[in-house]
A and B are shown apart, each in its own frame.
Chain A
Amino acid sequence: MKAADFSFKRYRKFIIPLILLAAVTEGAAIVCGATMEKLETGLARGFAFFGYMFPPDWPAFSEMLAPAFQSILIAFLGTVFGSILSVVFAMLAASNLSHSWVRNTARFLIGLERSIPEIIILILLTAAFGLGPMAGIIALSLGCIGMIGKLLADVIEDLDPVMIESMESVGANKLQTIVFGVLPQIMPNLISYTLFRFEINIRLSVLLGAVGAGGIGYELDYSFNMLQYHRAFTAMLVIIVMVFGTERLSYVLRKNIKMEGALK
């Protein structure tokens, strides 16, 4: 085939799939009532709305600091408890440390957790803990299991099997094998995943805050509902700084983790 071959023959295989895709898209739009007019009016309204929000309500800024700090704390506590839970789940879900039925049960629970969004976990938890940070922290902790637990379990399964055997053959029990063999080897991965998860949890804690876990998300939601758009804008700015800041921090820290002697 020549480099500059623009013949019909070359492109005709795309025609039918493209027509099909267009038809399905159009059908989907009609079914859920998405039209071009709505997009146009909506966009116009959106820009006008942005106008109402500007300028931010600077005096409200100092009121935002405490809720922002609360959001960060919710994310922090959720990450700490979550990563501890995840390590336990990861060990239960690793075939070289657990019996197959324990492993399969743990893998099933991890998969189940991953399929439930944190926001649904929070809604379920508010029935037990009521609205507030406690439900948020637990929701975020459980949310870690699906990600950190799964990734760590795979790292543990990749550990050198003879290394574990060599510890068993000096008479070490399972707990000792974990403390001396497994934990040191998975530590860089654990720290890296935990930092990454903290980044995600910051964003989630804002979202969960709006649903009822308190913190800066709640401030944003509340300001919107009270039609205090300037105040809402201030909250948004604080959130952007918070999210961006933790992302950079987590990135820099993760980049500097020494992976010597570890997997990957």
Chain B
Amino acid sequence: MIEVKNLTKSLPNGRRLLDGISFKVKKGEFVGILGASGAGKTLTLRCLNGLLKPDSGSIIVDDEQGRKHDICKITKKELRHVRQRIGVIFQGYHLVKRLSVLENVMIGRLGQISTFRSLFYGFTDSEAGEALLALEKVKIAHMAQSRTGNLSGGEMQRVAIARAIFQSPTLLIADEPISNLDPSNAKTIMKLIRPLSENIPVVGVFHQPEMTAKYCTRVIAIKEGKVIYDGDPKLSNKRLEEIYGEELGQVEQYEYSSPVPVMDSEIKLL
């Protein structure tokens, strides 16, 4: 479980970026965070694994032994310990492009093995087997030895998920995992993330309300640093307008001037 209480964060000029964000995510939940750009979604997410320190508030997470840690009041060493079991999937594919797919998955365990062993890429056979299993779960085990830089965007995001699975995490965080993928790849990624939430809490930031409606179990909407909605993933149009502003849903009328007359049939194709 992860419990976020009263997170605040301000810019030096006093502008509030996060203004008392609170929510709880239990195991079995796949929570999608929605909100317009600049609303504070990614900021909240970065706080969850300690990449950003909020001004006040607390974030309680369990480690693998069930002990509770407050990420906001934690030493560097403890943070590294807690992070071992927090899987993070970033927007884009921030893998090490010149390492093999398998090695990129292995990186997920770096926090859990000794530094000396990692200096020589010394993973055991059973660890390699587990990494392969993780790759099988995302259906790219056949590419384990390929150079990561040669993979397509969707494949790279699957490697990132395999890395998170290999961590055997107690919490999974995803920062816009499908933002630069085409619709079909995006669906595949959502289908891969969804079952992970059966055993652990999953929190993700998304820009696609239709995706969260379909795959998430709950949606939290953030606007101007405040939680304005927390509940059913299926949002009404009115609610969406509230989240994204008035313009959503209104198709803008363009003055369309084509040099060649466009036939009706062609318009249908468009």
Residues of A within 8 A of B (CB): 160, 162-163, 165-173, 175-176, 179-181, 184-185, 187-188, 260-262
A187 and B98 contact, CB distance less than 8 A = yes
> Is the Cβ of B167 less than 8 Å from the Cβ of A170?
yes
Question: Which of A170, A187, A261 has most B Cβ within 10 Å?
Answer: A170
Q: Is B226 among interface residues, defined by CB-CB distance under 8 A?
A: no
Supposing A167-B110, A180-B110, A261-B149 touch, asked if A173 and B115 sit within 8 A by C-beta, the answer is yes
**A-side interface mostly:** helix
A179 pairs with B107, CB closer than 8 A? no
A172 x B111 contact (CB < 8 A): yes
Q: Taking beta carbons and an 8 Å cutoff, which residues of B are in contact with A?
A: 49-51, 80-84, 86-88, 90, 92, 94-99, 103, 107-112, 115, 118-119, 121, 147-150, 160, 163, 167
Structural contact, B119 and A185, CB atoms closer than 8 A:
no
How distant is the Cα of A163 from the Cα of B104 in the complex, in angstroms? 11
Contact yes or no, A171 B111, CB < 8 A: yes
The smallest beta-carbon distance between B47 and chain A, in angstroms, is 12
* Closest A-B pairs by Cβ, 4 of them: A171-B111, A261-B149, A261-B97, A172-B110
A166-B157 Cα distance, complex, nearest whole Å: 13
Docked-complex contact A172 and B81, CB < 8 angstroms: no
Q: Is the CB of A170 within 8 A of B84?
A: yes
Give chain B residues whose Cβ lies under 8 Å from the Cβ of A160.
94
Closest CB-CB distance, B180 to chain A, in whole Å?
13
Using CB atoms, name the residue of chain A closest to B88: A169
Min Cβ gap A189→B in Å is 11
Contacts of B80 in A (CB 8 A): 171, 173
Contact A163 B96 (CB under 8 A): yes
For A188, the chain B residues whose CB sits under 8 A away are 98
A-B contact pairs, 15 of them (CB 8 A): A160-B94, A166-B95, A166-B160, A167-B110, A170-B84, A170-B110, A170-B167, A171-B80, A171-B82, A171-B112, A172-B111, A179-B119, A184-B99, A260-B150, A262-B98
Smallest Cβ distance from B74 to chain A, in angstroms?
12
Q: Chain B nearest CB: distance from A171 CB in Å?
A: 2
Which of A165, A169, A176, A261 interacts with B147 by CB under 8 Å?
A: A261
Additional 9 contacts, C-beta under 8 A, given A167-B107, A261-B97: A163-B95, A163-B96, A165-B51, A165-B90, A166-B90, A171-B110, A179-B121, A181-B107, A184-B99
Choice from B51, B119, B150 contacting A175 with Cβ under 8 Å: B119
A-B contact count (CB 8 A): 91
Contact partner, B163, options A162, A170, A185, Cβ 8 Å: A170
Contacts of A169 in B (CB 8 A): 49-51, 83, 86, 88
Q: Given the interface contacts A171-B112, A260-B150, does A185 sit within 8 Å of B94 by beta carbon? A: no
Question: Nearest-CB distance from A249 to chain B (Å)?
Answer: 24
Q: Pick from A171, A184, A188 the residue with the most CB of B within 10 Å.
A: A171
Known: A166-B88, A171-B111, A261-B149. A181 touches B83 (CB 8 A): no
Residues of A within 8 A of B167 (CB): 170
B110 touches A166 (CB 8 A): no
Instruction: Give Cα distance in the complex from A160 to B90, angstroms.
Output: 12
- Distance (Å) between the CB of A161 and the closest chain B CB? 9
Do the beta carbons of A163 and B111 come within 8 Å of each other? no
B103 contacts across to A, CB distance below 8 A: 180
Residue numbers in B under 8 Å from A167 (CB-CB): 96, 107, 110
A166-B88, A166-B90, A170-B111 given; A184·B119 CB < 8 A: no
A-side contacts of B92, CB under 8 Å? 162
A165 vs B173: C-alpha distance when bound (angstroms): 14
B81 touches A171 (CB 8 A): yes
Contact residue among B83, B94, B98, B163 (Cβ-Cβ distance under 8 Å from A260): B98
Which of chain B's residues have a CB closer than 8 A to the CB of A187? 98
The answer to whether B99 and A165 have CB atoms under 8 Å apart is: no
Give the shortest distance, in Å, between B48 (CB) and chain A (any CB).
10
What is the CA–CA distance of A167 and B119 in the complex, to the nearest angstrom?
Answer: 14
What's the least CB distance linking B102 to chain A, in Å?
12
* Residue in A closest to B100 when the chains form the complex, CB atoms: A184
Q: How far is the CB of A172 from chain B (nearest CB, A)?
A: 4
Give every chain A residue within 8 A of B107 (Cβ-Cβ). 167, 170, 172, 180-181
Give the CA-CA distance A187 to B147 in the complex, in Å.
Answer: 14
In angstroms, Cα B80 to Cα A188, docked, is 30
Contact of B98 among A162, A170, A171, A261 (CB under 8 A): A261
Evaluate whether A179 and B118 lie within 8 angstroms (CB atoms) in the complex, with A171-B112, A260-B150 already known.
Answer: yes
Pairwise interchain contact A180-B96, C-beta atoms closer than 8 A: yes
A50 to B87, CA, bound (A): 73
Complex Cα distance, B120 from A175, in Å, reads 12
Closest Cβ–Cβ distance, residue B59 to chain A (whole Å): 14
Contact (Cβ within 8 A) A184 B81: no
B98 touches A166 (CB 8 A): no
A163 touches B98 (CB 8 A): no
Instruction: Output the least CB separation between B25 and chain A (Å).
Output: 18
